[in-house]
């Protein structure tokens, strides 16, 4: 395929899961022995146990990269998704939600066990989310499910670190990176969580050093895990020379990015009340990539990310609810 022919602005490969979100008090987090504020991989039996212990909950399609695509799509860009669901009800829900958001999603469903993945999210009164993830069918995304022509037709390939843990999708993502780079496309990668870096940091550092990642998203905790440096500026300066575009979010302290020798810093966008931080990083990436794909200034890309993150933490659920195009126009 010609390097100048693009069908999609962003194509993502990630977990295809349904989020189950419930409000709870701090006592329940302690009682269940959960990793407060973090993400823990669990098996299906544990997922059933936690689901039974949850207060009344909302079910919405999620998954980090899928959430990011949902945000990008609402901002008017063309998106496609590759991820594995099972041939079950949750799989149908996920597929419907993706397509209803304007995202092309045609990966065939997987028959048999395990079920479609789900994330059980406990949200405490301060808006902090504690996530417990059963990857389900998503951890069995095979390389054979990849449409290489589809991958080569996207200007940006966006990969989710969470999905690096299981071997089969990790191999699929490596193959996808090769296809994208051969087609002259950009490869974006989100580290996702410190525990993923703890397990696969050597892989990530090697990809960075080899120049395989064009755009890297981390938060300050992940940056420290990746570099071994607690000082943010020291860690940032260690990674930046090896990544054309580095984006580091710092929660209430805003975000920093470097791109092709330029550096920009923005404050966090104001929010009246933090309701649920689920999806904050995902939507920051959505806002940033929507600007980047359109060739906007680095500071503007960061501002878009901050606005998108502020919107999603103002309500329950990991995907935008406001008219994001209008919100961007009003806020920029």
Q: Mean pLDDT over residues 239-265, rounded?
A: 96
* d(C-alpha 271, C-alpha 131), whole Å: 23
pLDDT band at 165 (very low <50, low <70, confident <90, very high): confident
Calculate the average pLDDT of the chain: 94
Q: Are 18 and 94 in contact (CB under 8 A)?
A: yes
Both tokens assigned to 102: 């304007």
Backbone angles phi, psi at 282, to 5 degrees: -60, -45
- Coil/strand/helix, residue 107: coil
Cβ neighbours around 168 below 10 Å, total = 16
Give start and end residues of each alpha helix (H) in 167-216: 167-182, 194-209
Q: Mean pLDDT over residues 216-226, rounded?
A: 96
Residue 4 has pLDDT above 80, yes or no: no
pLDDT band at 136 (very low <50, low <70, confident <90, very high): very high
Backbone angles phi, psi at 32, to 5 degrees: -85, -5
Tens of pLDDT along 147-156? 999 999 999 9
Q: Which residue has the tokens 């390097």?
A: 3
| Count of residues in the chain | 332
* d(C-alpha 63, C-alpha 282), whole Å: 9
Is 128 inside any structural domain? no
pLDDT band at 1 (very low <50, low <70, confident <90, very high): very low
Proportion of the chain above pLDDT 70, given as a percent? 99
What residues contact residue 268 under an 8 Å CB cut-off, 6+ apart? 251, 252, 253, 254, 255, 306, 309, 310
- pLDDT for the residue 183: 96
Q: Which residue has the tokens 């359109």?
A: 294
Residue 314 has pLDDT above 80, yes or no: yes
* d(C-alpha 308, C-alpha 291), whole Å: 12
Cβ neighbours around 89 below 10 Å, total = 11
Give start and end residues of each alpha helix (H) in the chain: 26-31, 44-53, 64-74, 89-100, 148-152, 167-182, 194-209, 220-227, 232-239, 280-293, 298-312, 324-331
Q: Are 61 and 97 in contact (CB under 8 A)?
A: yes
- pLDDT for the residue 2: 36
Tens of pLDDT along 16-74? 999 888 999 999 999 999 999 988 989 999 999 999 999 999 888 889 999 999 999 99
pLDDT band at 189 (very low <50, low <70, confident <90, very high): very high
- pLDDT for the residue 207: 96
Proportion of the chain above pLDDT 90, given as a percent? 85
Backbone angles phi, psi at 31, to 5 degrees: -60, -40
What residues contact residue 68 under an 8 Å CB cut-off, 6+ apart? 12, 158, 190, 282, 283, 285, 286, 289
C-alpha to C-alpha distances, 272 to 249, 275, 287, 315, nearest whole angstrom: 20, 9, 20, 11
298: left (phi over 0), alpha (psi -120 to 50) or beta: alpha
Number of domains in the chain: 1
- pLDDT for the residue 290: 97
Is 129 inside any structural domain? no
The CATH number covering residue 164 comes to 3.40.1190.20
- pLDDT for the residue 62: 86
Cα dihedral sign, 272-276-277-280: negative
Both tokens assigned to 6: 């693009």
Q: Which domain holds residue 153?
A: 8-17+62-117+136-331
Tens of pLDDT along 99-123? 999 999 999 999 999 999 999 999 9
* d(C-alpha 83, C-alpha 61), whole Å: 13
Is 44 inside any structural domain? no
Tens of pLDDT along 273-282? 998 888 899 9
Residue 301 has pLDDT above 80, yes or no: yes
Is 23 inside any structural domain? no
């Amino acid at each position: 395929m010609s390097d100048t022919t693009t069908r999609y602005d962003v194509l993502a490969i990630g977990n295809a899961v349904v989020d189950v979100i419930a409000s709870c008090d701090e006592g329940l987090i302690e009682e269940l022995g959960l990793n407060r504020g973090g993400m823990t991989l669990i098996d299906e039996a544990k997922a059933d146990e936690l689901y039974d212990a949850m207060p009344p909950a909302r079910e919405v399609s999620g998954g980090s990269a899928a959430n990011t695509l949902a945000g990008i799509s609402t901002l008017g860009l063309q998106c496609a998704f590759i991820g594995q669901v099972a041939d079950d009800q949750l799989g149908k829900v996920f597929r419907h939600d993706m397509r209803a958001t304007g995202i092309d999603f045609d990966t065939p469903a997987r028959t048999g066990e395990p079920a479609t993945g789900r994330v059980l999210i406990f949200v405490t009164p301060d808006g902090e989310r504690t996530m417990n993830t059963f990857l389900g069918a998503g951890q069995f995304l095979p390389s054979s499910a990849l449409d290489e022509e589809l991958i080569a037709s996207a200007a940006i390939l966006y990969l989710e670190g969470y999905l690096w843990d299981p071997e089969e999708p990790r191999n699929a993502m490596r193959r996808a990176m090769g296809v994208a780079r051969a087609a002259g496309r950009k490869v974006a990668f989100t580290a996702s969580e410190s525990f993923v870096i703890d397990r696969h940091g050597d892989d990530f550092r090697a990809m960075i050093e080899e120049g395989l990642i064009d755009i890297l998203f981390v938060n300050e905790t992940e940056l420290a895990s990746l570099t071994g440096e607690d000082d943010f500026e020291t860690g940032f300066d260690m990674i930046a020379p090896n990544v054309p575009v580095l984006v580091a979010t710092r929660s209430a302290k805003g975000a920093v990015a470097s791109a092709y020798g330029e550096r920009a810093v923005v404050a966090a966008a104001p929010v009246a009340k933090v309701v649920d931080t689920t999806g904050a990083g995902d939507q920051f990436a959505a806002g940033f990539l929507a600007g980047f794909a359109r060739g906007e200034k680095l500071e503007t890309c960061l501002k878009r990310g901050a606005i998108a993150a502020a919107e999603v933490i103002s309500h329950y659920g990991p995907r935008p609810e406001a008219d994001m195009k209008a919100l961007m126009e009003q806020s920029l």
